[in-house]
Amino acid sequence: MLKNRSKVKVKGLNQERAINNISKTVNIYNFKRYDKSLSEFEIDLKDSKKIKKLLENEGLALLSIKNSGLAYIFKEILGRLGIIIGLIFVLFFYIIQYGFVLKIEVWGGESYEQAEVRKFVQESMTSHFKSNISTEELEIKVRNNFDYVSSVSIAIIGQSLIVNLNPTVLPDEMEGEFKPIVSEYNGLITKINLIQGTLNCKVGDIVQEGDILVLPYTIDSDGNMYEVQPRAEIYADVWISSTVSHYDYKIVQSRTGKTITTSQVLLGGLVIYDNSPSVSFADYECETSTKILTKNLILPLYLKKTIYYEIAIEEIYQPFDEVKDTIIEQAHEKALIFFDKNDIIINENVTITEGGGCHNVNYTLTVNKNIGES
């Protein structure tokens, strides 16, 4: 029990020959044979990292490896002791710095307004210690210095000072900035009812996405121009298309549901805890995430986790003629996603093109809808 050993369990055929070859590189102890394909033996703890490669070279699968002995126990104790000491330091610095505001956040308003207010508040704060900050005084200063702020509320939440802006809102008639009505679709105009503004199109025109339909001004009989908010009902036959592709031959990868998770606790860039079992999957994909365990601290702790997903690779051959109706229906359903309940379908059309073992099914709906809504 006190010997520094690793107990290894393996699976595979021709184990006698394989174990003999491995014993030329590492020492083998207490070999046990459970059946013709399953056995167990011990090696020195110092050889535990290279045994996996040796087993792979001999065609044996590593089922498990368990470490024991004074050296291993001492290493585990030191690892856990390091975590405890690190957490104590983290807690100590967290308590000290919690009384300070470390971040200023501005909510509401435009981005340039947020930047101006954030800079002003930063310069107006004589101290970052929470007990020395008067949020009421800061609110008064912000209201008095920025005309575009109608009201403001400031609060300290955690280690952040939150500035919530309510910008002054002017009615459209006072802004002096009116935008034209722009088409969001490609289509053929069929009917126009102008309410306000100046038309930039007529019935029968083919318009594209981004074309201006109504200009934001009117001109009186004397030639004077007045800015207005454009309004109109403009109906057009709009073309809504979707395409679904089908490959007669394809390779599909799918997850089997089996996973292996490895995790590490890092103190800065130093690994203070490592739980990384070996990955025995033949084919896999992995996802790695890092989570901050302690934030804004002199001794930052991170949890790095990697999940390995076993994948199965399958070759699929399916002629297009066998699934033609299904693919057409899929393209139809995809086109209907952009269909509003008030739209009227005038025509439906399907085109199929083929090349390089791929069939492209294009489904087009011709819909009459109002594109003049601003």
Residues of the chain with CATH 3.30.70.3400: 5-68
CB 55 within 8 A of CB 10: yes
CB 354 within 8 A of CB 319: no
Task: Indicate the helix (H) or strand (E) that contains 72.
Answer: helix 70-97
Q: How does pLDDT run across 65-91, given as a tens digit for each residue?
A: 887 766 556 565 555 665 667 666 656
Fold classification of 103-167 (topology level) = Ubiquitin-like (UB roll) (3.10.20)
Q: How does pLDDT run across 281-337, given as a tens digit for each residue?
A: 989 999 999 888 776 556 677 888 999 999 998 888 889 999 999 999 999 998 888
Fold classification of 5-68 (topology level) = Alpha-Beta Plaits (3.30.70)
pTM over 0.85: no
Q: Using CA atoms, how far apart are residues 57 and 50, in angstroms rounded to an integer? A: 11
Decide if pLDDT at 359 tops 90. yes
- Which DSSP category does 100 fall into? B
Q: Using CA atoms, how far apart are residues 253 and 5, in angstroms rounded to an integer? A: 40
Rounded to 10 deg, the angle between the 51-58 and 15-23 helix axes is 140
pLDDT band at 206 (very low <50, low <70, confident <90, very high): very high
Residues of the chain with CATH 3.10.20: 103-167
pLDDT band at 97 (very low <50, low <70, confident <90, very high): low
Mean pLDDT of 33-60: 84
